[in-house]
């Protein structure tokens, strides 16, 4: 008989762990409790489903429940909600179909994810006011778009979901107003990216209100207006996307340590403060490669990678979950924006660095080659150690180059070292000096 | 009075050095002798000029001679050929307008470039038989295309120039036959890339003959046929692109050391065996980041970077020329191909490694996101040290990802370390696991 592995949550972290654990050690009994019906889905694809570029919500499912059960021999139980963890007797309490039962485990993984932050807005329960955190949310918004004549919408929050939903709703010929409390949209991407993208989405017809606090919504049954800074604007739909918050209630109740970021503390193997309990994905902290400190960056790759590593560790072959650099990329109409590492100067100073940065305008291809476009690169380094701390890119093509900066962060390269990398050049793909190298050259001269 | 810097050759290495030297120390007298008329041009853009995507050959000139002379205060002398170097008295002999003179220097940079390899073919002097190494060559081919009714062409050599010229000539509705002596085209990119690209260019109507030796050309004044493996095929145009050979005659005559690669030996500052004589660009060796050995990889970035570093060193602020990884990228019709490091297993063994490799098919974007395409990644590592040795990519989009592998080589990462990099994911840009990460995962499991 193999050990019993219990996993709470059937999305990226949970199903990656379940699959890897079984692949490494088929004697393991792997039970996954998922409170909803959807498992292993690409949440990041939801805006493109709502845009109409992906036919069925089911297309976002990477592996079906049947596949997990039949091909991978994983005991996947949807509609099962874990309501308590009992570390003292290695069991969890599970609610299903109105009843409860207790399930014992040898190893437990908490992969409870994150929930949309719900601000204290008036009228949040009106029809037509949505968040976009779950597949059910996506289904509901889609139904609303199909069944209601939506002519104008408010998007609250200028993060990923905000800009992606602006693109999605614009494809339905909806007038969009985006409200952002901060001075810039996409604030984790830095000021330069925020400005360029805001300008672009405004050219696409989206009205952007910066530094504007939303009070709430007004309407009878359905939303009729958004109220912001005391003034009302008529709308038929609202998407609230002001961030996510890790689901740590279960862990906290079981006296599992939650870190300063608000997510579950883990060690380099994804272990919590309790020996046989792991946490991964949007509910857990990860170690930032630049600061070495715990960070909460709820993104898909982090969840997949940590889940997979923990599955392997539980199977008896310890694998570190790895560090994160906070690398992210987002499409906003015709533009792409990408970021990695530490861009915010204050955050860099808090982490003990003396940041210096440059922003340069380069080109995605050789200047004479048709079809290229401007590419703006920001690079930040520590003036003492000369180490690269972070970077961003914004432009209509070529922003996946952020991976080069992310890899330089992973290797703790100095600016001079980054500048010396032998990056690929041919006129259809890059200037001779790739924009990343040009930024490194300029920053190196300034440092 | 500043020192006198003499530079032989006014292309990438020479003009980068001249510009940087003056920028760092304006007291320097910088004299550049260029035997031709073109300086600082993007040779890599020539196929796209011939394709008709770039209007004027002049568009490939990055900085004009006037700019160098007037804005940068560089004494640039075109039509001046250096015929001898006299290290014993720190002078060069220069031929100009039928006369010669001697010019003294404090620092000398040899940037004589490379020439097209001319195989021992019959009929090389027929009209319509060209190489494509210089801007003059490009002008001549363009004139020939304009003035002659070219219906069919032979391309000899399936390297960069061969595949780029296939694309360029196909745009003129010319029937193309490409001859390659080796079992695969684009041989430095490895077998997988060679096969995928050959298949693609054949789908585009190009006939590809592999392992086929060309004997030469036949015709009266103009080329009428190509003779290969004893059989004749009628053609109106031939492009011979079988490689380049470094121009080291001047250096050799002056007893400057030429390495085993056939290019000029240099140290980490680009210095030859003579203290005040440097060499850079297509005529010089560089240090390979994987093997640590001298290599000859005549590419634009290497020349620009080494020239710039030497300019800085001469100006009194020593800067290493950096290593190379042999990173390269090429467009072939709708496909892109890229490579870096050591792909060839025999070469890896010679360098003391025990190579193991994987090739995987992944996708350029999330599988459900429209517009993505297959992306094939090869990754090679040393099974002893686990270090990444090289990689390649081929597909219709996303091959610039090779920079991630190149940066991993620069950092001497292991496969496990590469696998742990936090690369950017969003559905329009990548699968959750970037194809590079997937290749690293698979290779890590095999190693």
Are B110 and B249 found together in one domain? Answer: yes
Cβ–Cβ gap A423/B289 under 8 Å: no
| Element of type H or E holding B309 | helix B300-314
Within 8 A of B435 by CB-CB distance, chain A residues are none
In total, the C-beta contacts within 8 angstroms joining chain A to chain B are 210
Q: Closest partner residue to A433 among B299, B301, B323, by Cβ?
A: B301
Are A42 and B366 a contacting pair at CB < 8 A? yes
CATH number at residue A359: 3.30.390.30
> Same structural domain for residues A251 and A349?
no
Nearest residue in B to A299, CA atom: B425
Chain A residue closest to B286 (CA)? A422
Q: Which of A327, A413, A430 sits opposite B400 (nearest CB)?
A: A430
Per the structure block, which two tokens stand in for B33? Answer: 């002798």
Comparing CB atoms, the residue among A324, A336, A366 nearest residue B422 is A324
Q: Which residue of A has its CA nearest to B45?
A: A427
Q: Name the strand (E) or helix (H) holding A376.
A: strand A374-382
**Residue found under tokens 């689901």:** A247
Across residues A291-298, what is the average pLDDT? 96
Task: Pick the catalytic residue from A24, A29, A44, A187.
Answer: A44
Q: Please answer whether residues A388 and A379 qualify as being in contact, where contact means their C-beta atoms are separated by less than 8 angstroms.
A: yes
User: Same domain, yes or no, for B349 and B438?
Assistant: yes
- Domain count of the fold of chain B: 3
Residue A416 half-sphere exposure toward CB, CA atoms < 13 A: 10
Listed in order, strand segments (DSSP E) in A149-265 are 152-156, 175-179, 207-209, 214-219, 223-228, 231-234, 237-240, 244-246
CA–CA–CA angle B248, B253, B256 (5° rounding):
70
Contacts of B351 (CB under 8 A, 6+ apart): B290, B291, B293, B342
Q: Are residues A357 and A216 in the same domain?
A: no
- Tens digit of pLDDT for each residue in A334-377? 999 999 999 999 999 999 999 999 999 999 999 999 999 999 99
- Tell me, yes or no, whether A372 and A279 share the same domain: no
Could you report the per-residue pLDDT of A93-102, keeping only the tens digit for each? 999 999 999 9
DSSP assignments along A65-115, one per residue: HHIIIIIS--EEEET-EEEEEETTTTEEEEEETTEEEEEE-SEEEE---EE
- Residue linked to tokens 């952007």: A208
Give percent of chain A above pLDDT 70: 100
Q: Under an 8 A CB cutoff, do A417 and B410 touch?
A: yes
Closest Cα in chain B, distance from residue A192 (Å): 19
Residue B52 domain-assigned?
Answer: no
CA distance B86 to A280: 68
Percent of chain B scoring above 70 in pLDDT:
100
Domain presence at residue A364: yes
> Which residues, other chains included, contact B338 with Cβ-Cβ below 8 Å and sequence gap of 6+?
A424, B189, B327, B328, B329, B330, B392, B393, B394, B399, B400, B401, B402
Q: Which residues of chain B fall below pLDDT 50?
A: none
Length of chain A: 447
Q: Which domain holds residue A264?
A: 4-115+245-314
Residue A412 lies in a domain: yes
CA distance B187 to B35: 33
Distance between CA atoms of residues A253 and A242, nearest Å: 26
CA nearest to A217, candidates A115, A127, A117: A127
Give the percent of chain A with pLDDT over 90: 99
CA distance A340 to A325: 6
Give the DSSP H or E segment for A437: helix A435-446
Give catalytic residue positions of B: 44
Which uninterrupted H or E stretch holds A294? strand A294-295
Residue of B322, B326, B432 lying closest to A300 (CB–CB): B432
CB contact under 8 A, B44 and A420: no
Name the pLDDT band for A315 (thresholds 50, 70, 90): very high
Same-domain pairing of A143 and A217 = yes
Q: Do B429 and A399 touch (CB under 8 A)?
A: yes
Domain membership flag for residue A390:
yes
The widest CA-to-CA distance across chain B, in whole angstroms, is: 69
pLDDT for the residue B2: 87
Using CA atoms, how far apart are residues A64 and A296, in angstroms rounded to an integer? 28
* Pair B254, B175: CB distance under 8 Å: no
Cα–Cα distance between A327 and A140 in angstroms, integer?
Answer: 30
Does residue A27 have a pLDDT over 80?
yes
Q: Quick one: A142 and A236 in the same domain?
A: yes
Decide if A327 is inside a domain: no
Q: How far apart are CA A10 and CA B107, in angstroms?
A: 67
Q: Is the domain of A184 the same as that of A276? A: no
Boundary of a domain, candidates A280, A314, A348: A314
- Chain B residue numbers with beta carbons less than 8 Å from the beta carbon of A324 are 422
Residues A132 and A141 sit within 8 Å (Cβ to Cβ): yes
Secondary structure E strands in A197-267: 207-209, 214-219, 223-228, 231-234, 237-240, 244-246
Determine, yes or no, domain membership for A162.
Answer: yes
* Interface contact A327-B401, CB threshold 8 A: no
Regarding whether B96 and B137 lie in a shared domain, the answer is: no
Across B257-304, the runs of DSSP E, i.e. the strands, are 277-279, 286-287, 294-295
**Residue B1: what pLDDT?**
61
**pLDDT, tens only, A209-221:** 999 999 999 999 9
Q: Which of A45, A189, A286, A422 is most worth mutating to test chain B (most B CB atoms within 10 A of its CB)?
A: A422
Among residues B242, B265, B299, which one ends one of the domains?
B242
Task: With cut-offs at 50, 70 and 90, classify the pLDDT of residue A2.
Answer: confident
Whether residue A1 is predicted with pLDDT greater than 70 in this model: the reply is: no
Q: Is A332 left (phi over 0), alpha (psi -120 to 50) or beta?
A: beta
Q: Specify whether A219 is located in the same domain as A122.
A: yes
* Residues contacting A260, CB < 8 A, separation 6+: A294
pLDDT of residue B252: 98
Asked whether residue A46 carries a pLDDT value surpassing 70, the answer given is yes
In angstroms, the first-to-last Cα distance of chain A is 61
CATH no. for residue A100? Answer: 3.50.50.60
Most A CBs within 10 Å, among B300, B365, B403, to test the A interface? B403
The residue of A19, A297, A403, A436 whose CB has the most chain B CBs within 10 angstroms, and thus the best one to mutate to test that interface, is A403
Q: Do B422 and A406 touch (CB under 8 A)?
A: yes
Residues B276 and B367 in one domain: no
A424/B406 CB distance under 8 A: yes
| Domain assignment present for A294 | yes
How far apart CA A151 and CA A136 sit, in angstroms, is 23
Q: Would you say residue B53 lies in a domain?
A: no
Cβ contact B419:A304 at 8 Å: no
Mean pLDDT of all residues in A135-152: 97
Q: Do A75 and A23 share a structural domain?
A: yes
Report the C-alpha gap between A435 and A374 in whole angstroms: 10
pLDDT of residue B78: 97
The set of residues, in sequence order, having a beta carbon less than 8 Å from that of B216 and lying 6+ positions away, is B121, B122, B123, B124, B226, B227
């Amino acid at each position: 008989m193999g050990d019993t592995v219990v996993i709470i949550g059937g999305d990226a972290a949970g199903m990656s762990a379940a699959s890897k654990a079984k692949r490494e050690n088929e004697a393991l009994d792997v039970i996954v409790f998922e409170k909803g019906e959807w498992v292993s889905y690409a949440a990041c694809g939801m805006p493109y489903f709502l845009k109409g570029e992906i036919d069925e919500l089911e297309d976002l499912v990477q592996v079906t429940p049947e596949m997990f059960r039949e091909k991978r021999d994983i005991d996947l139980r949807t509609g099962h909600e874990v309501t308590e963890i009992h570390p003292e007797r290695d069991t969890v309490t599970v609610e299903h179909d109105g009843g409860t039962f207790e399930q014992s485990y040898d190893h437990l993984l908490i992969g409870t994810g994150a929930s949309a932050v719900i601000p204290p807005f008036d009228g949040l329960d009106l029809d037509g006011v949505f968040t976009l955190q779950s597949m059910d949310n996506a289904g509901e918004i889609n139904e609303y778009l199909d069944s209601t004549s939506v002519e104008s919408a408010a998007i609250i929050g200028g993060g990923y979901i905000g800009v992606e939903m602006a693109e999605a709703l614009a494809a339905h010929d909806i007038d969009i107003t985006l409200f952002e409390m901060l001075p810039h949209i996409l604030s984790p991407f830095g000021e330069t990216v925020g400005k360029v993208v805001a300008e672009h989405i405004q050219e696409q017809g989206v009205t952007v209100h910066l530094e504007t606090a939303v009070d709430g919504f007004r309407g009878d049954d359905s939303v009729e207006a958004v109220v912001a800074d005391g003034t009302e604007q008529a709308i038929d739909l609202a998407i609230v996307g002001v961030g996510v918050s890790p689901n740590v209630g279960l862990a906290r109740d079981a006296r599992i340590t939650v870190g300063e970021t608000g997510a579950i503390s883990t060690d380099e193997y994804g272990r919590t403060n309790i020996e046989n309990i792991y946490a991964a994905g949007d509910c857990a902290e990860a170690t930032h490669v630049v600061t070495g400190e715990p960070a909460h960056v709820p993104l898909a790759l982090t969840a997949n990678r940590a889940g997979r590593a923990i599955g392997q560790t539980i199977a008896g072959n310890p694998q570190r979950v790895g560090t994160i650099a906070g690398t992210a990329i987002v499409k906003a109409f015709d533009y792409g924006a990408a970021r990695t590492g530490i861009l915010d100067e204050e955050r860099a100073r808090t982490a003990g660095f003396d940041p210096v940065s440059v922003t340069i305008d380069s080109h995605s291809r050789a200047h004479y080659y048709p079809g290229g476009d401007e590419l703006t690169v920001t690079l930040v380094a520590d003036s003492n150690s000369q180490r690269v701390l972070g970077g961003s890119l914004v432009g209509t093509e070529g922003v996946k180059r952020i991976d080069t900066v992310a890899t330089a962060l992973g290797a703790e390269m100095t600016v001079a070292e980054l500048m010396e990398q032998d990056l690929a050049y041919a006129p259809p793909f890059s200037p001779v000096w790739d924009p990343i190298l040009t930024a490194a050259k300029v920053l190196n001269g300034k440092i």
